[in-house]
Every structure is written in structure tokens, then in C-alpha cells.
Amino acid sequence: MTSSILSLFVGFLALNFMPSEKKIETQLVRQYDTADPQFRRSLGVLLGPPIIEGNKVEVLRNGDQIFPAMLDAIRHAQKTITFETYIYWSGTIGQEFTEALAERARAGVKVHLMLDYIGSMKLDRQQIEAMRAAGVQVQRYHKPVWWKLARLNNRTHRKLLIVDGKVGFTGGVGIADKWRGNAQDENHWRDTHFRVEGPVVGQMQAVFMDNWTKATGVVLDGEEYFPPQETAGDLPAQMFSSSPTGGSESMHLMYLMAITAARKTIELSSSYFVPDELAVKALVAAAKRGVKVRIITPGKIIDSDVVRIASRERWGDLLAAGVRIAEFQPTMYHVKALIVDARLVSVGSTNFDNRSFSINDEANLNVLDPDFAREQVAVFEDDWRRARPISLSRWEDRPWLEKLSGEFASLIGAQL
């Protein structure tokens, strides 16, 4: 009996750790750069949704800007709120969101809240019940029950808030007090979120509907969720998603396409930077053809030491090729942004690691506009000034215990 239970457990682990789709196995061939119209066409065709014009995207830095904007949108909702997030914890900001969502539900707004089960484990059950009692439809993604153990490792890491089908938010922030403030100390994290208006909000809504339908079997449709979209600005944008249940390699492909097409610059902000072999080769190739590549990752203040150790283990070839890597010093760095040639900006929930590329459900917003990209480069520069560059010699001289730990961490790199 014991051996049968053990065999069953090992089988469930294998199902969780095995990729559900074929992975990208070869490095992309560089056929165009980011200024070539083919780059935009390929993004639209290979990633799924088209790049559409007429959008407005506002950058929000840190909790002092992010949370008031999100709560204001919620409190002014008239018809619908759809909200999907990984982290939602009890605390002061969690309570504010709970009260705002419950108040709108009592006012007759249709409120749908998708919480990842693992990411919301620190949310008091009383808050969940208070929202449900007010009329909020709360769905917890992939609750660990025996008939779903094969999907336990697949989490929704998407961060989407759409109000009345017209205003959307995405980025890196979680609903927890660690994101409050202005990154002023190690207890207040550095992060960026984006407020979006225009036709691309319809694509954001469609991404939310993807998991809502999978989890509940209910299709949310109609003008309350998908109203006619008016032009809100002049930015071309695209919202796309990835999931191991379909299109798991879309996010990985997008990053490889952008890096391969880079002509001048790559600025990567990555809270969890554990590149696979293909990503390392693509970044090295870009640096060798003269692209200025800079990467910001967290420093010693990080919520996962294993990730940091595994990340640093993979820096050798990058640093040797001229890639510049710097560790953010003031606090935990949770930003997730890619800027290529001051032309493409990709932001959302995706980390630069295999968990985001192959295991989790993720969603990213791509914006193709030089003016918007230059604004994000300025934000990157500000972060770079508060980061400590790591030289090749310094990396080679890291303590032997860290090197040994890095070897062990690399063995589970596919799960980080």
C-alpha cells in the first residue's frame, strides 16, 4: 500500500514538472530589426492578438501611485469589474480593496475576482466571505484538491484589473502591504504598474475571460464587458497571454523575438532573472553584434534567495559578452519590463524565467512607440542609478559557497 501511494505521488509530481507543450529548442534566426514593419507584423501574427492603434498608457510607479489609481477606478465602476491577481494578502491595502470591491457589488456592479489559490493563501477567509456576502463572485484558481493535483504547479500569475470594459491595469504589483509606499526602504518594494485606456482594453478583458471561463465554465459577454471602444490616445498596443494549457511558449517566443530583432539597446528590468540557455544565447548574440544590453535584478533584498543564487550562476557568459548587470540596492526590485531600441515596451506579469515562460499563466502588454519607450528608458535610468553594477571579475570572485549553492540551484532552475 505504501509503495502504491508513493508511486502515485511521484506520478503527480512528474505531471506537474513535465512541460505540457513542446518547448522552443533552437535559437531564432535574425531576419529583421525592430524598425522593420515585419517586426510589428510578426508580433501580431505569432503572438495572437493584433497590434491596435488608439490607446493611452499611463505609468504608475510604486504603491503611492498604483493603489490610489486602481482603487479610484474600482470605486467609480458603473457596470463591471474583472480582477485577476496572484498575490492578494490580508493587511491594510488588502482590506481597502476588499471594502471597495464589496461596496461596488452591493451597488449592483458585477464584480468578478480571480485569485490564485497559492498566491492568496495569506488572505483571511473572513475577507473572502465578506466579499461573497456582498455579491462579489470570487473564484480561486487551481485549489489543491486530489483530482487537480496534476495542475498544482500551474498558477495564474496574471495581474489584470478591468473596469467597465474601458479602463485596464496591468504590471507587477500584488495586493499586499509590501507594495505600499514609494520604495523608500526594504519593507516597501519597487514596482511599476500601467493604467490603460483604448481598444487594447478589450484584449485585456479577453485575457481575463480566458481563465474565468476555464475555471468556472461561465462565459461573460455583452456590452457591459466588451463595450464599443473609443480612441483614447495614439499608442499602438497589444495584450497577449500565455498558459501551459495553450500557447505556453508565446511569452518565451516574444522575448526571443524582441532580443533577436534588437539593433541598438535592450533594457531589461527583471525581478526574477533565471534565463534558460536559449535566452542566454540570444542576449549574448545581441551584445556581440553591438547591442547595448543592460539588466537590473534584485540585490540582497529579495524574497527568494534560491532564485537569486540560481540567477547569478548564469551570468558568466552574459558578463563576458559585455552585457551589463546591476543589482538594485534600496529594496526588493519587483519590476517586470523589457525595452528594446527605445521602440518596444513590454510590461505585465512575466518574469524572465522558465516558470513564467512555461509553467504559469501570464499576460503582457506590448506598446510600440518611441516617445512612450523613451519615457520608460528614463524610468530605467533612474533605477539603474540606484543599482550596483556587477563586473565579470567580481562575479568570478564570488564566495565558493555561493558557487556551490549556484550549482545546486541550477538543478531546479526549470521550476524557478
Q: Active-site positions?
A: 157, 159, 164, 334, 336, 341
Look at residues 373, 370, 353, 372 and name the one whose alpha carbon lies nearest to residue 362. 353
Single out the residue of 266, 262, 297, 261 nearest to residue 384, CA to CA: 297
Report which residue type is found at 147: W
**Distance linking the first and last C-alpha atoms of the chain:** 33
Beta-strand relationship, 80-85 and 137-141? unpaired
CA dihedral 78, 80, 84, 88 (to 10 degrees): 50
Residues making up the chain, counted from first to last: 416
Per-residue b or e along 48-84, where b marks 16 or more CB atoms closer than 10 Å to that residue's CB: bbebbebbbbebbbbbebbbebbbebbeebebbbbbb
Between CA 292 and CA 414 the distance in angstroms is 27
Cβ contacts of 100 within 8 Å, gap of 6 or more: 71, 74, 75
- Residue 20 burial class via C-beta count within 10 angstroms: exposed 0-12, middle 13-18, buried 19 and up: middle
Q: How many CA atoms lie within 13 A of 121 on its CB side?
A: 7
Torsion angles phi and psi, residue 157, rounded to 5: -105, 5
Q: Which residue type, as a one-letter code, is found at position 277?
A: E
